[in-house]
Amino acid sequence: MQIRWPRCRALTYDAGMGLPNESNTDDLTLSQRQAVEHKEGPLLILAGPGSGKTRVITRRIARLVDSGVDPREILAITFTNKAAKEMASRVDRLLPGSRVWVSTFHRFCSRLLRMRGQAVGLQPNFSIFDTQDQRGVIKRVLTGLNVDAVHYPPAKIGALISNAKNNLQTAEAYRRRFSESVGNHAQAVVAKAYPEYQKLLLVSNAVDFDDLLLHVVTMLAENPELRRQLDERYRYVLVDEYQDTNLAQYQIVNALSQDSQNLCVTGDPDQSIYGWRGAKIDNILRFEADYPQAAVVRLEENFRSTPQILETADNLISHNVYRKAKTLITDNADGDPVELRTLRDSQREAEMLAADIRDCVERGENKWSDFAVMYRVNALSREIERAFGRFRIPFQVAAGLAFYERAEVKDVLAHLRLIHNPHDQEAFLRIVNRPARGIGKTTLKRLTAWAAANGFSFLEAAAQAAEHPQLTKRAVNSLVAFAETMNELVQTQFDGVAELTEAVLARTGYAEQWRGSTGEQDLQRLANVEELLTATRQFDDQWGDESTLDAFLETTSLAGETDNLDDERGQVTLLTLHAAKGLEFPVVFIIALEQNLIPHERSLKGDDPRELEEERRLLFVGMTRAMRRLVLTRAHRRDVRGKSLISIPSPFLVEFSPQQVADADDAAFGWDRVENESQEVPDDESAEQFVETARPAVNEAGGRPMLTTAAELLNGTRRSVEMPVGFTVGMSVRHPRYGLGTVMSVDGFSKRRTVTVAFEDPDHQETFVADKCPLQPVGLSKGGG
DNA sequence: GGCCAGTGTCTTTTT
DNA sequence: GACACTGGCC
């Protein structure tokens, strides 16, 4: 996603001037200039939100090159692909054609391991296992160890292994430390499973995400000559978001910055939000101790947000004890106060957002892409998605199942993986019976045991299946045919990844299973496979002769969920608070400011106050994404795990003072009575009558009077927006499964309101609950999707 | 071996 | 509410 650069005096330059000369730093503030002009030696840039950090880094790179540094000696490392892409394109704008390497940690390590991985037992064509693959391996390990998978869920064991790896504990070290442990059963299981897991990865010639880093750490530690070479090769190392580095990443960065200590790290301890993934906020806090000659530059002027937003965020974050105090200042013009809106339930919360956004766009104040909706957990996006669908608001979601993780896409990719790396056991197991070829559990159990006993890869074993004494004829035929198909694909030369993928589909008949089907799901699957093909074609086009299967697979396995966000297309963006890091939007909504969500219940269970501080930082990150307007919401009632529960306001709300806005219904009924399920909720149309009697809402934040009601806010939009329950007889609607239809009748009230629709298909009539059905009005609004 | 329906179980955040 | 796993049936 493009990061919009705020308009501000210090940073503007005349369009007529063209690009600034990178040596000319007149357009920078004093501290920005200090950071840009610093050349040799370690440098710590403490950059508050919206302080022009990316701009400073890219300008600094440009300046280094301008002063004679070879671009190949510069390595810039980010956490996400999106950030890397953004930085690379900005560097390219300043230095067209220069080949500065901007990479994520994982990609950097992957490249290194492709070249030098033999040292840790990896062939250059190793596979990268994602979390699903990882779980598959662990499941097999646990079965082999006779460990009850119910009591020790593979995902939990996997998390423990991942934690260990993030703390640089190898399997051997872990085993030694915990194999005798009587106290903790899980650790004892991991002590056995972790070494086995690593063995299986090696047999598959594969690594998991953590291994990418850990193997590189091992390599650098065991091979001083290699470390020295790389240190010399990358004389200038820049690391973004240093506050989020874990121990492994810290070691890598340091190993590359011993002989030439031109290490520049940027970050903000207040934005450290990956502690759960092993990030050590201490890494940035102790930088000056690690590098005593370090220069320190603070970027504290904010060019992004209004003073109101900044002050609110600052009030919040100042409640953290474990931090380096920092001031946030801005010259930006005043804006509106930060609002807190309290709604009756999560559905209403979603509708309020939809109505608000639509209203702003229709008044011409904003474009769709100005808005972002942020939440703590992905599950919360559903309600918003549904409401936006009903209100016909175009949106994109940065979450849920990333494209490359959908089952059918993973299946096709598993074929490619197996072709690339025939030892990849997870890929084999995934596709050997997909589409169904009559190869079941029993057959596979025999085959894999046999392969392990004889040192075959699974694919080799399948090819030799006829030699196996116990396999049924039918199973043997299927296995041999499968192995032959794959082997032929391995041996054929293809011109590009797209051609190979097409051949895979043609030879395996994979897509045929849903061809000709009319089911919505099957069509979606076909479309996804088609989209994957498009991705391969784009990849071929982009890389030309350099387009290799290797590179394509690496891209797909390291692709992140926010990578595909697009701010050009004119859509509202829905994303988690974590995914929001590094982005900015004119208008930000943060929903569900409730106990157990923000802060998340997991952070409250343990008694570690630092976990709570991380939650506070997370909210801080979200708030400081907002440029002009920030709205926080909470609902009395929220559906969690299918149950509707009364919520408790987030304790953070008392730490700053948003302007309180309550939903009219709730004000009228009173908070104390919300629990009464039998209370019939009035229809939307009657909401206005409560406005006058509305009494101030519960004042979590210190007694501010309620100034506006949500009903008033909704009021102006009532006419232009079709409320979801507003189905009228004769209206045209669309149902995702049944297609177009006409509303025949509307019955019942409130939650029990039903709509009967006659579909185009003659004699087909269905009745739906208005609140829940996926019906969309058709042809009423000019805007939208 | 494949398919279906029913049941039990978990859900933070991500490369 | 979603998914993984189970058990029963063809």
Span A605-638, pLDDT tens digits:
777 788 899 999 999 999 999 999 999 999 998 8
Nearest nucleotide (C1') to alpha carbon of A379: B11
Q: What is the CA A739 to C1' B2 distance in angstroms?
A: 32
Beta bridge partners of A765: A758
Q: What is the pLDDT of residue A641?
A: 78
Q: Which two tokens stand for residue A338?
A: 């930060």
Q: A609 preceded by cis ω (within 30°)?
A: no
Q: What is the CA A384 to C1' C9 distance in angstroms?
A: 41
Nearest nucleotide (C1') to alpha carbon of A639: C1
Contact A728, A682 (CB under 8 A): no
Q: Say which residue the tokens 């609110």 belong to.
A: A312
Terminal Cα distance for chain A, rounded: 20
Distances (CA, A) of A353 to A311, A459, A590, A679: 24, 53, 10, 25
Contact A33, A43 (CB under 8 A): no
Q: What is the CA A415 to C1' C3 distance in angstroms?
A: 24
Q: What is the CA A779 to C1' B7 distance in angstroms?
A: 43
Nearest nucleotide (C1') to alpha carbon of A213: B15
CA distance A503 to A482: 14
Q: Which two tokens stand for residue A281?
A: 């906020």
Task: Give the closest residue to A444 by CA, choosing from A136, A1, A778.
Answer: A136
Nearest nucleotide (C1') to alpha carbon of A79: B15
Nearest nucleotide (C1') to alpha carbon of A154: C4
Q: Which residue is nearest to nucleotide B12 (CA to C1')?
A: A377
> A696-727 burial by CB neighbour count: b if 16+ within 10 A, else e?
ebeebbeebebeebbbebbbebbeebbbbbbb
Q: What is the pLDDT of residue A544?
A: 85
pLDDT < 50 regions, chain A: 1-20, 665-725, 751, 779-785
Q: What is the pLDDT of residue A630?
A: 96
Residue A704 DSSP one-character state: P
Q: What is the pLDDT of residue A4?
A: 29
C-alpha of A664 from chain center: 35
3-state secondary structure of A627: strand
Q: What is the CA A130 to C1' B15 distance in angstroms?
A: 9
CA distance A575 to A564: 12
Q: What is the pLDDT of residue A683?
A: 36
Q: What is the CA A493 to C1' B12 distance in angstroms?
A: 45
Contact A284, A45 (CB under 8 A): no
Q: Which residue is nearest to nucleotide B3 (CA to C1')?
A: A436
| Cα dihedral A733/A735/A741/A744 (nearest 10) | -80
CA distance A93 to A4: 15
Phi and psi of A294, rounded to 5°?
A: -60, 135
Q: Which two tokens stand for residue A569?
A: 């297309």
CA distance A588 to A308: 14
Task: Give the closest residue to A47 by CA, choosing from A579, A562, A582.
Answer: A582
Would the pTM count as exceeding 0.85? no
Please provide the size of chain A in residues.
785
- Which ranges of A470-587 would DSSP assign to H, the alpha helix? 473-491, 497-508, 520-543, 549-558
Half-sphere exposure of residue A256, counting CA atoms within 13 Å on the CB side? 28
State the amino acid at position A343 in one-letter form.
Answer: L
Q: A599 preceded by cis ω (within 30°)?
A: yes
Q: Which nucleotides of B are covered by protein (CB under 7 A)?
A: 1-3, 9-15
How many other β-carbons are positioned within 10 Å of the β-carbon of residue A750? 13
Contacts of A184 (CB under 8 A, 6+ apart): A178
Enumerate the active-site residues of A.
Answer: 53-54, 240-241, 271, 625
Using CB atoms within 10 A of its CB, is residue A548 exposed (0-12), middle (13-18) or buried (19+)?
A: middle
Nearest nucleotide (C1') to alpha carbon of A643: C1
Q: Which residue is nearest to nucleotide C1 (CA to C1')?
A: A642
Q: What is the pLDDT of residue A13?
A: 30
- Which ranges of A337-472 would DSSP assign to H, the alpha helix? 346-362, 381-390, 407-420, 425-431, 441-454, 458-463
Nearest nucleotide (C1') to alpha carbon of A135: C4
CA distance A161 to A172: 12
CA distance A281 to A495: 47
Three-state secondary structure readout of A103-131: EEHHHHHHHHHHHHHHHHCCCCCCEEECH
Residue A410 DSSP one-character state: H
Q: What is the CA A600 to C1' C1 distance in angstroms?
A: 20
> A432-470 burial by CB neighbour count: b if 16+ within 10 A, else e?
bbbeebebeeebbebbbebbeeeebbbbbbbbbbeebee
Q: What is the CA A770 to C1' B3 distance in angstroms?
A: 34
Contact A704, A661 (CB under 8 A): no
Q: What is the CA A149 to C1' B8 distance in angstroms?
A: 14
Phi and psi of A474, rounded to 5°?
A: -60, -45
Q: What is the CA A383 to C1' C10 distance in angstroms?
A: 40
Distances (CA, A) of A458 to A156, A423, A444: 27, 7, 9
Half-sphere exposure of residue A483, counting CA atoms within 13 Å on the CB side? 20
Phi and psi of A478, rounded to 5°?
A: -65, -45
Q: Which two tokens stand for residue A695?
A: 């009494």
Contacts of A741 (CB under 8 A, 6+ apart): A732, A733, A734, A735, A757, A758, A759, A760, A766
Q: What is the pLDDT of residue A737?
A: 56
Beta bridge partners of A662: A342, A709
Using CB atoms within 10 A of its CB, is residue A182 exposed (0-12), middle (13-18) or buried (19+)?
A: exposed
Task: Give the closest residue to A144 by CA, choosing from A198, A193, A202.
Answer: A193
Pairing label, strands A339-345, A295-299: unpaired
Distances (CA, A) of A324 to A268, A291, A555, A735: 9, 18, 37, 54
Nearest nucleotide (C1') to alpha carbon of A105: B15
State the amino acid at position A373 in one-letter form.
Answer: V
Q: What is the pLDDT of residue A262?
A: 94
Nearest nucleotide (C1') to alpha carbon of A597: B12
Q: What is the CA A127 to C1' B1 distance in angstroms?
A: 30
Percent of residues, chain A, with pLDDT higher than 90: 46
Helix A710-718 vs helix A346-362: angle between axes, to the nearest 10 degrees?
50
Contacts of A219 (CB under 8 A, 6+ apart): A112, A113, A116, A117, A119, A120, A226
- Which residue ranges have CB below 7 A from strand C? A 139, 149, 382, 641-642, 772
Q: Which two tokens stand for residue A237?
A: 């190392």
Q: What is the pLDDT of residue A564?
A: 63
CA distance A491 to A502: 15
Half-sphere exposure of residue A455, counting CA atoms within 13 Å on the CB side? 0
State the amino acid at position A500 in one-letter form.
Answer: L
Q: What is the pLDDT of residue A475?
A: 85
| Cα dihedral A707/A713/A714/A718 (nearest 10) | 130
Q: Which nucleotides of C are covered by protein (CB under 7 A)?
A: 1-2, 5
Q: What is the pLDDT of residue A17?
A: 36
CA distance A67 to A56: 16
